Amino acid sequence: MYDLITGPLLWFSFIVCIGGVIIRLVYLFSLSRVKDRVLYNHADAGWGLRSLFHWLIPFAGSAMRMQPVFTFMGFVFHLSLLSVPLFLSAHNILWDENFGISLWSMPDRLADILSAVTIISGLFLFLRRLSRPEVRILSEVRDYILIIITILPFITGFLAYRQWGPYETIFIMHVLSGEMLLILIPFSKLSHMILFFFTRLFIGFEMGGRRGARSW
């Protein structure tokens, strides 16, 4: 089982994730050359980057200041969500053993705390979805499921690290849920992790490059 899920299945997930994202980007790019002249006509690096950075820095956009708790939780969620899988020492050891490359590793204690933070902030987002009327009315079942799928590798990773519960089952679930997440990236709303940069640049061009107005 370990052999299968960390071998062929993992390769499959990586290929689907990266390949899917590339295919999607190429498709959108070629479509945009035909149908989105407006994207290129008003391109302006200064406005584009300002539009981007105002939404990458906490509380830089005015909407973020209107919902400070959500903003804080949202940033904490995204930061821990991205940093734990990339900088967990055990993951880097696997990278190193298999490909001879690795990133900086964070201490296990920190990774442990950040996993808990991801789970808690993810649950906050889930509850916010349920409790704020203007968010609940927008939400579909798949939006709730996506949050659960996103934090699943962190729940199982957290349990596996502490060896709480049936270790082997949890370990397998950890790997499988991580792979599911990778596969979902190009096909679900998770694709915003890449497309975010393009939509932000566009609105920067559209509001700023074209009209001189802010988009944050």
- Binding of other proteins by 61 (CB under 8 A): yes
Q: Which of 15, 22, 93, 127 binds other proteins (CB under 8 A)?
A: 93
- Inter-axis angle of helices 8-35 and 167-184, to 10 degrees? 20
Rounded Cα distance between 132 and 128, Å, is 6
- Positions in 184-203 near other proteins (CB under 8 A): 189, 191-192, 195-196, 198-200, 202-203
24: exposed, middle or buried (C-beta count within 10 Å: 0-12, 13-18, 19+)? Answer: middle
Q: If binding is defined by CB under 8 A, does position 99 make contact with other proteins? A: no
Helix, strand or coil for residue 41?
A: helix
Which one of the spans 10-18, 55-63, 116-124, 148-156 is the region binding other proteins (CB under 8 A)? 55-63
Q: How far is the CB of 171 from other proteins (least distance, A)?
A: 5
Q: Which one of 138, 145, 148, 166 is in contact with other proteins (CB under 8 A)?
A: 138
Tokens of 129: 């979805």
Residues 94, 7: Cα–Cα separation, whole Å: 12
89 binds other proteins (CB under 8 A): yes
